[in-house]
Structure 1
């Protein structure tokens, strides 16, 4: 029941009750949620930074994956220094620390991980085949995508269902990212498994000019 309350307070961003619950039962901060991730990772996936802050207050240590997602640069640097071999390990949900940093928009951490040897072309191993560039594109983080490309990220790799970074950029209407991808060889003729081009996704979202430019 306590874990259920914990999840409820995280997802609803009920900071007062969350803090009170963790003060009463600190071990809950290290529990496993029904989403098969830690409470801290759940707060990151819910995009609730204020909740993440409360959880961090009740944790004496966090993993490289959690630190990469939550933007704790000093912790990332310490863990990479202590365990350099772990830089390309997978988290329980199948993502690398670089993939998580890219998805959550942690530019400095993503850049640091790449400088320390993180593989920019290592997809998730959870069946989704999400590459770091896909994560950056999905989150609309153009500076991270640029950094990955400058470090030899493959442009036209496909994730599950055949989507490329160009598909995500088109769907999001991100003109800067589209230009960046096209300048580095993004293929506008790649179709997803359902047959849709990047132009089709842009058109569906009402980005008519982008669709015409890609079409």
Structure 2
């Protein structure tokens, strides 16, 4: 039995298959996948929270990044208390603990990390230039986005291809997020590399009223 078979079960969302493999071969939970990340992180990235929780039971020592991705508050807080200087470290695939907590919607954990000195304006280090606010908006999470903005997150930072938080909120059609970003200085005139405005992305997704709102200052 090798890691490829476990990967296959994770990617297909087969919870029972993952359980059966790990019961017979628990050491696989500690191995990196072909993607260069752990099986637990792979399950998180595939948005398979139930599978990630099962894998976590077979991992003897979760890393800070795994704990932040899967939402293990007690483990993450203990690791930060033990090594507070690691709060702004980068994972092997280039994300910060705060970025992971934001992307996977772990509000309490995100608040804790900011309280302990996590930089709300620290981008990923992997070519994607993803800031925590990008992750929070991509997760469609109003509360985390507000917490980041209230903590000094810049509203107009751009990730790869010039995608700003307002572009993503427009694509999602989340009017509450859009209003929140606008209230904190998000600019409706920001264009992606291809020239598209937030209003253009909203219109493409069929959110025509939102598109009109975003074109008001155009």
TM-score by length of 1: 0.98
| Corresponding residue number in structure 1 for 2:53 | 53
Residues 18-167 of structure 1 correspond to what in structure 2 (within 5 A)?
Answer: 18-167=18-167
Q: Choose 168-177 or 26-35, whichever is displaced more.
A: 26-35
- For residues 20 and 163 of structure 2, the distance between their equivalents in structure 1, rounded to whole angstroms, comes to 43
**1:198 aligned residue:** 198
Q: What secondary structure, in the 3-state scheme, does the structure 2 residue paired with 1:152 have?
A: coil
Gaps of 5+ in 2: none
How much does 1:56 deviate?
Answer: 1.2
Q: How far 1:97 sits from its partner (Å)?
A: 0.3
Deviation of 1:106 (Å): 0.6
Q: Using the TM superposition, give the Cα deviation of residue 16 of structure 1 relative to its aligned residue in structure 2, in angstroms.
A: 2.1
1:15 aligned to 2:25?
no
Deviation at 1:99, TM superposition (A): 0.3
Question: Cα deviations across residues 91-111 of structure 1 (Å, max 9, x unaligned)?
Answer: 011000000000000100000
Shift of 1:17: 2.2
Q: CA RMSD in A?
A: 0.8
Structure 1 residue 59: Cα displacement: 1.2
How high is the TM-score relative to the length of structure 2? 0.97
Structure 1: distance between partners of 2:15 and 2:180? 39
**How far apart are residue 13 of structure 1 and its match?**
2.1
Aligned length: 215
Unpaired stretches in structure 1, ≥5 consecutive residues = none
CA displacement 1:69-94 (0-9 Å, x = unmatched)? 10100001100000111100000110
Structure 2 counterparts to residues 169-208 of structure 1, below 5 A: 169-208=169-208
Cα distance in 1 for partners of 2:148, 2:18 equals: 37
